[in-house]
Amino acid sequence: MSENATPASETPEKRDFIRQIVREDLASGKHTAIRTRFPPEPNGYLHIGHAKAICLDFGIAEEFGGRCNLRFDDTNPAKEDPEFVRAIQEDVRWLGFEWASLRHASDYFEVYYLAAEKLIRDGKAYVCDLSPEQVREYRGTLTEPGRESPYRNRSVEENLDLFRRMRAGEFPEGSRTLRAKIDMASGNMNLRDPALYRIKHMPHPIAGDGWCIYPMYDFAHALGDAIEGITHSLCTLEFEDHRPLYDWCVDNVDLAGHPELLEPLKAKGLPIEAAKPRQIEFSRLNINYTVMSKRKLTQLVAEGLVDGWDDPRMYTLQGLRRRGYTPASLRMLVDRVGISKQNSVIDFSVLEGCLREDLDARAPRRLAVLDPLKLVITNLPEDHEEQLTFANHPKDESLGQRLVPFSRELWIERDDFAEVPPKGFKRLVPGGEVRLRGAGIFRCDEVVKDQAGNVVELRGWLDPESRPGMEGANRKVKGTIHWVSARHAVAAEVRLYDRLFTVPDPDAGEDGRTYRDYINPDSRRIVTGYVEPAAAAAEPEQSFQFERLGYFVADRYDHAPGRPVFNRSVTLRDTWAG
């Protein structure tokens, strides 16, 4: 488990309906060991919705002393990419989990093929020559039954011959499929003779060029679970209607009763734990102001609307990581959302709130100025320089202290000064006083402007008796502002990220608009600011609270000590609440 994860001994027992099923199965003796799996398709990067599945699949195995496999569903060679495989493995580990065994659906291709031949011999599968368009036409509708394929009653011998010739590459792509013989009148469309295999003349990235037929997801997934002895196959609710097909594949192939089908695995040295798995569905994680369709995330990347899969505005786990989200904050989100059968949409503020809560507790504080205005303390000599002691965290002494350089000239935030203050303004005004964080009380005596009338510098007096701990510090001054010593400040590129979309439901489709029309033009703003030396020395992915500004992270790739690049992870407060 990662350093950001909470030890199991400190985590309160979770009581959702899936964990209750697991407890009952263990108590009854139905299972003596729990086996789960996380089965991503390596055709894109994982997004925040997958975090819920990862935490559930791996979390249940961890909590009940079981095992969780990472199994890549690589049944479609046209879409697999090694880049996605690497990213998925990295994401799982980043969230704090480790798989018991790394598997691929392609590990089992020979088993799937033998299972398909068994179904043919049993009269439960047939080779169909209908085109994809004809299959859809014959399938029927939700209110009308489907029609049987004219090829449905081919003999076992003909089906075996055709299926073997499909494997040998004799037929064009898309010309034939192997279909299960179930029930064309079923009220469940998934049982209307679904395809089990299709022809695809393409080498496989792992299995090589020995295959030109590939199993369909429902068939491969069900048998993969059975091969690995998965006890609880956890899926999101959209697979609920697929469960009868899942059970049909497991029951009719019956790997446990036909161990000869598993012979190819012995040559690979893969452990065999054949058993009958149980599929259980739960609601997926939906968050407003996002799109989580892998197809749409792919389009965002392909069309250059974002800067890649790990753009900090993306809701991929790689993007969230680069934005500064922590494993602990995502695990906290999953715990708060809970596991249920009820689909719902979580407000984006819940996600941001989890990150604020995690970082508030453990992120060191630093001083930074993002919209700098020069402030000159006229009663200090020009060469004045000293080191002030600041706590790294106001509530956690274990994080220690640091020295912050202080000099005659400082940078402050431009909006901490107002020549004509609005009502309720408590910061710096001409002739007014403000407390400089940790340095004393400053009075603004002079406002310097350029030829265009813009304020370029403030000059004034620092009360030498008003340092923290001195008697003069006790007099009432309404505002406290932060600063950075101009002489010691390090220029930093700061990327101010915000929500990628401007509306809660970018997929609503109102007035013919698509999610592209709702991209927030202010989702990223880049400024050059100044940070104190201790911030500039950060390592990539180190998070801080920049006092009064928000939580920021040193960019994973672009930041280097002395050449800082920071991403805003989240503001100090919910700026969208209204």
Buried/exposed 484-497: b ≥16 CB within 10 Å, e otherwise: bbbebbbebbbbbb
Q: Does 51 carry a binding-site annotation? A: yes
Regarding whether 373 and 481 lie in a shared domain, the answer is: yes
Q: Does 52 carry a binding-site annotation? A: yes
Regarding whether 494 and 470 lie in a shared domain, the answer is: no
The pLDDT value given to residue 10: 56
pLDDT in tens, 368-389: 999 999 999 999 999 999 999 9
Regarding whether 424 and 502 lie in a shared domain, the answer is: no
Q: Catalytic annotation on 294?
A: yes
Which run of H or E residues covers position 447?
A: strand 440-449
Regarding whether 372 and 341 lie in a shared domain, the answer is: no
Which run of H or E residues covers position 331?
A: helix 327-337
Q: Give yes or no for residue 95 having a pLDDT over 80.
A: yes
pLDDT in tens, 386-440: 999 999 999 999 999 999 999 999 999 999 999 999 999 999 999 999 999 999 9
In one-letter notation, the amino acid at residue 441 is I
Regarding whether 372 and 477 lie in a shared domain, the answer is: yes
Q: Give yes or no for residue 266 having a pLDDT over 90.
A: no
Mean predicted confidence (pLDDT) in 169-198 = 97
Q: Catalytic annotation on 23?
A: no
Give 16: exposed, middle or buried? Use CB within 10 Å, 0-12, 13-18, 19+: middle
Q: Give yes or no for residue 7 having a pLDDT over 60.
A: no
Regarding whether 351 and 452 lie in a shared domain, the answer is: no
Mean predicted confidence (pLDDT) in 242-253 = 98
Does residue 578 belong to any structural domain of this protein? yes
Cα separation, 353 vs 371, whole angstroms: 26
CB-CB neighbours of 514 under 10 Å: 13
Check: pTM over 0.75? Answer yes or no: yes
Q: Catalytic annotation on 41?
A: yes
Query: CB–CB of 466/441 below 8 Å?
Result: yes
| Structural domain span for residue 474 | 367-487
| Band of residue 268 on the pLDDT scale cut at 50, 70, 90 | confident
Q: Which of 36, 54, 53, 39 is nearest to 217 (CA)?
A: 39
Q: Which of 496, 502, 498, 497 is nearest to 519 (CA)?
A: 502
Q: Does 43 carry a binding-site annotation? A: yes
Q: Does 236 carry a binding-site annotation? A: yes
In one-letter notation, the amino acid at residue 337 is V
Residue of 294, 322, 331, 402 marked active site = 294
| Band of residue 229 on the pLDDT scale cut at 50, 70, 90 | very high
Does residue 462 belong to any structural domain of this protein? yes
What lies within 8 Å, CB to CB, of 391 at 6+ separation is 365, 397, 399, 400, 401
Q: Give yes or no for residue 356 having a pLDDT over 50.
A: yes
Q: Within 13 Å of residue 205, how many CA atoms lie on the same side as its CB?
A: 18
| Band of residue 1 on the pLDDT scale cut at 50, 70, 90 | very low
Regarding whether 308 and 446 lie in a shared domain, the answer is: no
Cα separation, 204 vs 197, whole angstroms: 15
| Band of residue 577 on the pLDDT scale cut at 50, 70, 90 | low
CATH code for the domain of 556: 2.40.240.10
CB-CB neighbours of 60 under 10 Å: 23
Regarding whether 461 and 532 lie in a shared domain, the answer is: no
How many residues are there in the chain?
578
The pLDDT value given to residue 574: 80
Mean predicted confidence (pLDDT) in 361-372 = 98
Percent of the chain beyond pLDDT 70? 98
Q: Does 283 carry a binding-site annotation? A: no
Within 417-560, where are the H helices? 533-536
Residue of 41, 90, 273, 541 marked active site = 41
Does residue 141 belong to any structural domain of this protein? no
What HEC string does 187-243 produce? CCHHHCCCEEEEECCCCECCCECCCCEEECHHHHHHHHHHHCCCCEEEEEHHHHHHH
Of 462, 487, 512, the residue at which a domain comes to its end is: 487
Of 453, 487, 521, the residue at which a domain comes to its end is: 487
Q: Give yes or no for residue 3 having a pLDDT over 50.
A: no
pLDDT in tens, 199-223: 999 999 999 898 999 999 999 999 9
Report residue 10 CA to chain centroid gap: 25
Residue of 23, 147, 276, 284 marked active site = 284
pLDDT in tens, 115-164: 999 999 999 999 999 999 999 999 999 999 999 999 999 999 999 999 99
Does residue 267 belong to any structural domain of this protein? no
The pLDDT value given to residue 578: 52
Percent of the chain beyond pLDDT 90? 89
Mean predicted confidence (pLDDT) in 259-288 = 89
Q: In total, how many domains does the chain have?
A: 2
Does residue 339 belong to any structural domain of this protein? yes
The pLDDT value given to residue 536: 97
Regarding whether 395 and 321 lie in a shared domain, the answer is: no
pLDDT in tens, 315-351: 999 999 999 999 999 999 999 999 999 988 999 999 9
Regarding whether 391 and 375 lie in a shared domain, the answer is: yes
Q: Does 231 carry a binding-site annotation? A: no
Does residue 295 belong to any structural domain of this protein? yes
Q: Does 50 carry a binding-site annotation? A: yes
Regarding whether 371 and 345 lie in a shared domain, the answer is: no
The pLDDT value given to residue 261: 95
Cα separation, 214 vs 193, whole angstroms: 17
In one-letter notation, the amino acid at residue 87 is A
Of 463, 487, 511, the residue at which a domain comes to its end is: 487
Within 228-293, where are the H helices? 243-253, 263-268
The pLDDT value given to residue 9: 45
Structure token digits, residue 519: 């991209």
pLDDT in tens, 489-516: 999 999 999 999 999 999 888 888 999 9
Mean predicted confidence (pLDDT) in 340-364 = 95
Q: Does 472 carry a binding-site annotation? A: no
Regarding whether 545 and 481 lie in a shared domain, the answer is: no
| Band of residue 11 on the pLDDT scale cut at 50, 70, 90 | low
Does residue 101 belong to any structural domain of this protein? no
Residue 409, CA distances (Å) to 374, 385, 442, 468, 532 in order: 7, 10, 12, 20, 14
Q: Give yes or no for residue 354 having a pLDDT over 70.
A: yes
Mean predicted confidence (pLDDT) in 550-554 = 98
Q: What is the mean pLDDT of the chain?
A: 94
Does residue 301 belong to any structural domain of this protein? yes
Mean predicted confidence (pLDDT) in 237-256 = 96
